[in-house]
Chain A
C-alpha cells in the first residue's frame, strides 16, 4: 500500500544493559522519546516493520559479507548476547517470508541484495524492538547494511537502497513502517567507548532532518573515521531511511550524548504519510 511510518533511533547494548548507570534525567528523556515513537508507530497501524540495522557479526562474517541483506524468515530470534548483560530476555519475533520475498524482488530492481532465511537478532535490532514493539508482535523484516567490516557500500548506494525499499513498500498491499538504527559519532567497543562528538552529531542531524541528500552524501569515510569514529560508519542506516523518506522533512525528537550508553542517543522521524 504505502510507507506509513519512517524514523530512526539509536541502538547500543548499554541503553538496556547499563541503564542504571546513566544520568537519570537524560536516560528518562530518551526513553520517553522512544515511547513517543512507539505510540506514533502504533498509530500508523503498520502490518510490518522494516528495521534497517547495522548488525554486529551475529549473522554475517568476512567469509561472505553482504553489503546489503534482507531477512526472509518466518521467525527470528534474539538477542544472541547474554540476556543479563544486555538486559533483554530472549524472544521470538514473527517474520513473513512471502512479504519479504515480494519486497526483496522489488528492491532487486535497483540494488543487488543478499537475502537470508535464517537470521539471529543482536542488540542492533533487539534494543529498538524492546522499546518500539515490546510484545514482539509486529511482523519484522530485518534489513542490514554492512557498517562494521570495510570495504563498506558507499553512502550513495545506501541512499539508493533506502529509495528502493520505499519503492518496494509502495508496491505491496501491506502497510509498511521503516526504522533505521545506528549511531552517529561513537567509538563503541574500544578503549574510547563513551567518547561522542556532539558537534559532529548535531551537524549531521541538521542535514538529516532537512533531508538534504547532497549534504548527507558528501561525507567521506576517511573524514567520518577521523571525526566520528568507526561507529560513525553506521550513518549508513540513517541515510537509507532518508532515502526511503526522500522529499519528506524530518523532526528531531531527542538527541543527547549519554556516555555510558556509548552513543549520542537519537530519536527522529519523517513525515511520510
Chain B
C-alpha cells in the first residue's frame, strides 16, 4: 500500500509536462522509480480511474488526471461509481475518513 507514491506520480503528471512526456514515452520506466504495489502499477499504467479512486487517491488529484486523459465529465463520474461497485468502498485517504479516521476537530 503506497498511496502516497501513487498520488505523487499523478500530482507530477498533472502539473509537469516534462514528466508527462516521459510517462507517455515509457510508462514502465517512470513507474519503476516509484515505490508501488503491482495493483497500483497496473492501475496507473491503464489509467483505471475507478480503482485509483477506491485506493484513496484524493479526488482533486484524480479529477485533473481524468481531464488529462481526455475523459468526458460524465465518464469520469461513472468510472468512480463503477470502481466502487467493482472493487468495494474507498480504502484509504480523505474519503474513508468518516469511517476510519475522523478529521481533526
Show the binding face of A for B, using Cβ within 8 Å.
Answer: 13-14, 17-18, 56-59, 61-63, 80-82, 85-86, 120, 122, 148-152, 154, 188-191, 193, 220-223, 225-226, 230, 233
Known interface pairs A191-B77, A222-B103; 19 further A-B residue pairs with C-beta atoms within 8 A, sorted by A's residue number: A13-B67, A17-B73, A18-B73, A57-B58, A57-B64, A62-B4, A63-B8, A80-B64, A85-B67, A148-B60, A150-B104, A152-B103, A189-B59, A189-B62, A190-B59, A220-B105, A221-B102, A222-B102, A225-B98
> Which residues of B from 72 to 105 have beta carbons under 8 Å from A?
73, 77, 80-81, 84, 94-95, 97-98, 102-105
Of residues B7, B81, B105, which shows the largest number of chain A Cβ atoms within 10 Å of its Cβ?
A: B105
Tell me the nearest residue of chain A to B50, going by C-beta: A191
> Judging by beta carbons under 8 Å apart, are B94 and A81 in contact?
no
> Which residues of B from 1 to 21 have beta carbons under 8 Å from A?
4, 7-8, 11, 14-15
Can you list 27 A-B pairs with a CB-CB distance of less than 8 A?
A18-B73, A56-B64, A57-B14, A57-B15, A57-B64, A58-B15, A62-B4, A63-B8, A120-B15, A148-B60, A150-B94, A151-B103, A152-B104, A189-B59, A189-B60, A189-B62, A189-B63, A190-B59, A191-B81, A221-B102, A222-B102, A222-B103, A222-B105, A226-B98, A230-B94, A230-B97, A233-B103
A-B contact count (CB 8 A): 88
Tell me the nearest residue of chain B to A59, going by C-beta: B15
Q: Please name all residues of chain B whose beta carbon is closer than 8 Å to the beta carbon of A189 when the two chains form the complex.
A: 58-60, 62-63
Which of A13, A80, A86, A149 is close to B94, meaning CB atoms less than 8 Å apart? A149
Q: Please name all residues of chain A whose beta carbon is closer than 8 Å to the beta carbon of B80 when the two chains form the complex.
A: 190-191
What is the bound-complex CA distance between A230 and B95, given in angstroms? Answer: 8
What is the bound-complex CA distance between A149 and B15, given in angstroms? Answer: 17
Q: Please name all residues of chain A whose beta carbon is closer than 8 Å to the beta carbon of B102 when the two chains form the complex.
A: 221-222, 225
Tell me the nearest residue of chain A to B82, going by C-beta: A191
Q: Please name all residues of chain B whose beta carbon is closer than 8 Å to the beta carbon of A148 when the two chains form the complex.
A: 58, 60, 94
Chain B interface mostly helix, strand, loop or mixed?
helix
A216 to chain B, nearest CB (A): 15
> Judging by beta carbons under 8 Å apart, are B104 and A154 in contact?
yes
A82 to chain B, nearest CB (A): 5
Q: Please name all residues of chain B whose beta carbon is closer than 8 Å to the beta carbon of A220 when the two chains form the complex.
A: 105
What is the bound-complex CA distance between A188 and B60, given in angstroms? Answer: 8
Tell me the nearest residue of chain A to B81, going by C-beta: A191
Tell me the nearest residue of chain B to A219, going by C-beta: B105
What is the bound-complex CA distance between A148 and B7, given in angstroms? Answer: 13
Q: Please name all residues of chain A whose beta carbon is closer than 8 Å to the beta carbon of B77 when the two chains form the complex.
A: 191, 193
A interface footprint on B19-46 (CB within 8 Å = 1, 0 otherwise):
0000000000000000000000000000
> Which residues of B from 49 to 68 have beta carbons under 8 Å from A?
53, 58-64, 67-68
